[in-house]
Amino acid sequence: MVINIRPDEISSITRKQIEGYVPEVKVVNIGTVLQVGDGIARIHGPNKVMAGELVESEDGTVGIALNPESDNAGAVPTGDGLTIQEGSSVRATGKIAQIPVSDSPLGRVVNALAQPIDGKGQIPASEFRPIESPAPGIISRRSAYEPSQTGLIAIDSTIPIGRGQRELTIGDRQTGKTAVATDTISNQKGQNVICVYVAIGQKASSVAQVVDTSQDRGAMGYTIVVSETANSPATLQYLAPYTGAALAEYFMYRKQHTPIIHDDLPKQAQAYRQMSLPSRRPPGREAYPGDVSYPHSRLSERAAKLSLQLGEGSMTALPTVETQAGDVSAYIPTNVISITDGQIFLSADLFNAGIRPAINVGISVSRVGSAAQIKAMKQVAGKLKLELAQFAELEAFAQFASDLDKTTQNQLARGQRLRELLKQSQSAPLSVEEQVATTHTGVNGYLDIPEVEQVKRFSVQLREYVITNKPQFGEITRSTKVSTEQAETPSKEAIEESTEIFLLQEK
């Protein structure tokens, strides 16, 4: 078969191609892996790589540039990085690390890259958000004035937390830090609040337990769990809190309220140390790099109560820190205490003495204070913390005194009853009106009648009586948020009637 090729046809086709050609210059920023090991790849050559920029190796492994220098950069792979080899090429993408965000992750468990790990399929995303973004400035914020109720009377009455605040939960292992966090999440039900729980370096079984508890209480519908367990690469454990903050910010800027729990920050500091030492950053105290407080400070500064112009959304940071033998003066605990707006201290001694939640009210503090309480709570809870602090001092003093005067005995008896009053079972959050009625009972001497061991039973019965027989008290407190005469009358009646019933039952 003979094909006739006409030269004029070829020239016309060539001419059309030349006329339609659009010159395009594409610059690709490529480097070479000099050294790889200990989870760090040192790359030579990429020009002007940014700190936090995503880089991609030949095998498709994505890493994050952390140590950009004049002619090389240290990068940490987001996976195990086992397929990266010396001499292979690495491409700078020009993008800062970012994650997909949308309403879809609600009720899901995701990793530090916002990818689902609960086996329920992919999560559709409407937009992307940088993992690290600037914190709102002074003009963009307003002071915390709305309460973020935890449902725990020991916290809401004496150490109140406001929306946009940063309140640290600190204590030894197995003292109830995670229980406080899960109870706080459960108490947000029906309040149009989105919760984010970030598990950093936890056991997979512990994370599964939190998820199961949240599902049983109906809390997973408004909760996102970000989990990087103890066997995850240090890079991902380090990034997990920032991913949680990015997810929470998405909702905050959409005029919603988002409590975020970081459980716990020393694990992130350890992951940062694990990344920094192979990067040849000089070690300081406890072998941490000198800037170890910076990752925590730039994380906590993202928590804010936004101004009226930005919609008054909020992100309330509730980080936890595990101490060793109650040592709050260790390096990481002191750093985190200094950059938060208060701390809830959980004591192993109180926990072992059967006081749950084991909150040491004397040394716990909220730097927002009564600004984060409704007026009704502020009016009745003013004396509570003072009386508990005085009781703690008297209790220590009374151990050495054989003969005490009547006033001191009465004060000790009142303090013992108040401490019993603050005991609360797990998964039993109290509404604001229940807390107001209970606190009113304690500070006004109504608890002096029952015996110490009867106080908890008495307070439970009182709350049930108020809800059942005096619903107007709850309605007035919720609507006015002030302890008015209209509310005080049914409250006093309920306390007196409930006391009579209780005493009759005990006879």
Is 327 one of the annotated binding-site residues? Answer: no
Is 156 one of the annotated binding-site residues? Answer: no
User: What phi and psi values does residue 263 have, to the nearest 5 degrees?
Assistant: -125, 95
> Is 108 a catalytic site residue?
no
Q: Where are the beta strands (DSSP E) in 3-88?
A: 30-37, 40-44, 53-57, 62-68, 72-77
Q: How many CA atoms lie within 13 A of 129 on its CB side?
A: 22
Is 6 one of the annotated binding-site residues? Answer: no
From the centroid of its chain, how far is CA 477? 29
What's 261's DSSP letter? E
Catalytic residue among 142, 217, 298, 367: 367
Is 177 one of the annotated binding-site residues? Answer: yes
From the centroid of its chain, how far is CA 61? 30
Is 173 one of the annotated binding-site residues? Answer: yes
- Distance CA(5)–CA(13), nearest Å, equals 13
Which residues have C-beta within 8 Å of that of residue 132, sequence separation ≥ 6? 52, 96, 97, 242, 246, 298
- Distance CA(375)–CA(215), nearest Å, equals 33
- Answer yes or no: are the C-beta atoms of 461 and 501 closer than 8 Å: yes
Residue 22's CB: how many other CB atoms inside 10 A? 4
- Answer yes or no: are the C-beta atoms of 478 and 438 closer than 8 Å: no
Is 178 one of the annotated binding-site residues? Answer: yes
Is 103 one of the annotated binding-site residues? Answer: no
Is 107 one of the annotated binding-site residues? Answer: no
Annotated binding site: 171-178
Annotated binding site for ATP: 171-178
Catalytic residues: 367
